Amino acid sequence: MPSAIFSHTAPTPLFNLTWPRLPELFPVASPGIKTSRDSLVVDIDRDRLANRMEKYLGKDATDAEIAEAVPGAMESSARFDPLSTRRALQEKGFRPWQIVRYAYRPFDVRWLYWEPETKLLDEKRSEYIGQTIFPSACLATQQKSRGESSAPQLISQPGCLDLLDRGASCFPAVVIDVAGTLLSDVHVSLNLSSSAVAKLIEIGGNKDDLFFHALATMHSPQYRTENAGALLSDWPRIPLPATADLLARSATLGRHLAELLGAESSIRLTAEWSFLAALKLPKSSDLKGALKLTAGWGYRGQGSTVMPGQGLSPERQWTAAEREKLAALAVAQSLTLEGALALLGESCVDVHLNGESFWPAIPINVWNYTLGGYQVLKKWLSYREFPLLGRPLHSEEAAYFAQIVRRIAAILLLGPTLDASYQAIIPSATGLPTA
């Protein structure tokens, strides 16, 4: 998306307390699901989760066998009695329809056995789950962060509380009202406050645009820099465009961001992007062996905790051939090579699966990119180290990792355009109408 559609003006370092806080625009929100027994109820592989839950919910395996097979599943806590919980759930038995997609970490969607009764899940968030009957875009953000604030994530599945390192709150684009027990009784409406609707009517703006305008604004590097201190102490405040045209342009950027951030969106970055993280495999080896992640990216910590390892990711300068490809990529994004390198970094890393297989040419700023307090790529790898995952990567997973690299690169390259949109809005930005 070319930045030329917006005129560049001098930055206006202003944090305006009249700009509405996120909940004043989108009143329906929920904290993410808190499982506390991830080793039992969450898995990367659906079949493995189903087999484990069938065993846990069946009556053949003893409590001791479950405790040995699944660390943490039978440990008592102040809120969880493992024996009474298992007995109650054994009476219900395994219900495959309770396995749902689950936004677990940034760009990392897994499977969850969502149990609506007992304390198998510490916080099941039943009302929130009811809002996910039909998948829709959802902002995952937080009121306060532990350290540096994070731009929001965009999910379309039930979200984990730990999507952000101090607790994620999920703001859906639409809300669902169920008046009865039939799907025909379901009513879907936009998650907008009456004041937000009044503002949109005032400027003649599209009601669908406000959600994506908020996403674009919160990902603007200038917005995040100017408001860094305020973002640590309260919900993000969103400047409201004075015209429908400014709102629509910002929302267009937000929709593109949503495609890049959505872990299961259909976008595929190929062509000029394809040299980034193009998997290199040894010429003579079986594919399964070549896709074993054994470079030391993760290890088992206390209990079922997974800790990130050092891994193998040597840093180097771009080659002449890669710089040519970067130049072509920059042109496609209406940037100069120098501008692209300023955003992506003057160096890159080759990220190894093992001693022979690796993803080359990952821009250093992409490698270091954080979301929700996590170094995204390194976090994804840490859970998939061969001793932890128990299998090599599937070829689709290796290809997905390359797509994450390219999507993060695209997000970084979109920064100047997001800033230009933000700069165009703030001189005349307003708050919500007063009652």
Q: Residue 154: which residues within 8 A CB-CB, separation 6 or more? A: 137, 138, 139, 140, 215, 257, 258, 261, 262
The per-residue pLDDT for range 102-153, each reduced to its tens digit, is 999 999 999 999 999 999 999 999 989 988 877 789 999 999 777 778 899 9
- Give the per-residue pLDDT at 14: 47
Mean pLDDT value across residues 12-21: 73
* pLDDT number for residue 287: 84
Q: What is the pLDDT of residue 176?
A: 87
Q: Which two tokens stand for residue 224?
A: 């995040």
Average pLDDT over residues 65-82: 93
d(CA 276, CA 348): 10
Per the listing, tokens 């919980």 go with 85
Dihedral class, residue 296 (left if φ above 0, else alpha if ψ from -120 to 50, else beta): left
Q: Do 31 and 161 form a contact (C-beta atoms < 8 A)? A: yes
Q: 346-366: string of b/e by CB count within 10 Å (b at 16+)?
A: eebbbbbbbeebbbbbbbbbb
Span of 34-38, 217-221, 293-297, 320-324 with lowest mean pLDDT: 34-38
Dihedral of alpha carbons 131, 132, 136, 138, sign: positive
Q: Which residue has the tokens 């692209």?
A: 340
Query: Running DSSP on this structure, what letter comes out for residue 268?
Result: -
The residue whose two tokens read 């160096």 is: 347
pLDDT tens per residue across span 356-415? 999 999 999 999 999 999 999 999 999 999 999 999 999 999 999 999 999 999 999 999
Instruction: Count CA atoms within 13 Å of residue 375 on its CB side.
Output: 13
The answer, yes or no, to whether residue 12 has pLDDT greater than 90, is no
pLDDT the model gives residue 13 = 41
**Residue at token pair 């993280």:** 277
What's the pLDDT score for residue 49? 98
Q: What is the pLDDT of residue 179?
A: 58
Looking at residue 165, its pLDDT comes to 83
- Please give the backbone phi and psi of residue 369, each rounded to the nearest 5 degrees, phi first: -60, 130
Q: For residues 145 and 69, which has the higher predicted lDDT (pLDDT)?
A: 69
d(CA 275, CA 291): 19
Strand, coil or helix: what is 29?
coil
- pLDDT tens digit string along 259-282? 999 999 999 999 999 999 999 999
Pairwise pLDDT comparison (300 vs 393), residue with the higher score: 393
* Gyration radius from the chain CA atoms: 23
Tokens of 366: 């992409």
Summary mean pLDDT of the chain: 92
Separation between Cα atoms, residue 32 and residue 25, nearest integer Å = 19
Helices (H), 333-414: 337-344, 364-367, 376-382, 386-389, 395-413
Quick: pLDDT tens for 21-33: 999 999 999 999 9
**Residues paired with 299 in a beta bridge:** 307
Quote the pTM value.
Answer: 0.93
Q: Name the percent of the chain lying above pLDDT 70.
A: 94
pLDDT at 10 over 60: no
- Average pLDDT of 422-430? 95
Q: How far apart are CA 361 and CA 358, in angstroms?
A: 10
Beta bridge partners of 426: none
